[in-house]
């Protein structure tokens, strides 16, 4: 029986590559995003559903998870790819800037993970994957994007807390921390950099599929540093 995988941020560069990877690999995909669509290739796929949802609305997310469980029976994995980025050192980062990054990077993941974790613990199986970031692990990079680094850092701690709660169970939280992703926007904003050193969205999608596959079954408490040569 095909595993059911939930993917947030599905219309982004990484989300689009991930949806394609999981559909091609035989999963049932429940994709979530608020607007836009780069997912025309998946529209007629029998194992694909696209849902518009405000992930910062906790009550709406909980209602959605109940509906999804009722429809699919169980959610086997959740890839929380949605998030946001902002530059700004400590002097430039006021409370509003901090709260914005917390909403985009922490709340959108936490509101999704909380009901799903309970569901997965009840089923005795599940994979929760959070998108970290290298600036959260390397202060010399994070000092210029304080709110972003702090918010992404909380996802590493959230994964650790979930793994401590699920110890001995087949429910695992992982964090994937990429370096610069090779996108059109990044190429335009960093014209002097070498994109060959960056990591491609398709390469990250491969890692995400590994985590949810049988090959990733024995892995616990993992942080995947997907840096390439950047």
For residue range 149-168, list pLDDT tens digits in order.
999 999 999 999 999 999 99
The residue among 11, 29, 52, 9 whose CA lies nearest residue 209 is 29
Place of tokens 């405000």: 54
Alpha carbons 132 and 168: distance in angstroms, whole number = 24
Q: How far is CA 90 from CA 86, 107, 136, 176, 226, in A?
A: 12, 22, 14, 25, 27
Question: Is the full-model pTM beyond 0.75?
Answer: yes
Alpha carbons 160 and 139: distance in angstroms, whole number = 20
Rounded (5°) CA angle 96-62-75:
120
Alpha carbons 198 and 161: distance in angstroms, whole number = 30
Alpha carbons 113 and 62: distance in angstroms, whole number = 10
Structural domain of 71: 4-226
Q: What is the pLDDT of residue 29?
A: 97
Q: In total, how many domains does the chain have?
A: 1
Helices 108-123, 58-72: axis angle to 10 degrees equals 30
CATH no. for residue 198? 3.40.50.720
For each of the chain's 230 residues, which pLDDT tens digit applies? 799 999 999 999 999 999 999 999 999 999 999 876 788 899 899 999 999 999 999 999 999 999 999 999 999 999 999 999 999 999 999 999 999 999 999 999 999 999 999 999 999 999 999 999 999 999 999 999 999 999 999 999 999 999 999 999 999 999 999 998 988 888 998 999 999 999 999 999 999 999 999 999 999 999 999 999 98
């Amino acid at each position: 029986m095909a595993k059911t995988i939930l993917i947030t941020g599905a219309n982004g560069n990484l989300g689009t590559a991930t949806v394609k990877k999981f559909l091609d690999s035989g999963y049932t995909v429940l994709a979530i995003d608020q607007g836009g669509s780069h997912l025309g290739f998946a529209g007629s796929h029998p194992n694909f559903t696209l849902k518009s949802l405000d992930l910062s609305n906790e009550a709406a997310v909980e209602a959605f998870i109940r509906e999804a469980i009722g429809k699919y029976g169980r959610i086997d994995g959740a890839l929380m790819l949605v998030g946001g980025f902002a530059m700004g050192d400590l002097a430039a980062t006021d409370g509003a800037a901090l709260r914005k990054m917390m909403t985009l990077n922490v709340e959108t993941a936490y509101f999704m993970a909380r009901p799903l974790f309970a569901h997965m613990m009840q089923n005795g199986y599940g994979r929760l994957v959070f998108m970290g970031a290298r600036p959260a692990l390397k202060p010399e990079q994070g000092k210029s994007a304080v709110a972003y680094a702090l918010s992404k850092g909380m996802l590493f701690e959230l994964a650790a807390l979930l793994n401590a709660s699920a110890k001995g169970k087949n429910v695992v939280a992982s964090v994937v921390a990429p370096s610069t992703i090779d996108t059109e926007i990044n190429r335009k904003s960093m014209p002097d950099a070498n994109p060959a050193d960056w990591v491609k969205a398709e390469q990250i999608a491969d890692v995400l599929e590994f985590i949810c596959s049988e090959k990733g079954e024995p892995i616990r408490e993992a942080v995947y540093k997907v840096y390439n040569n950047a």
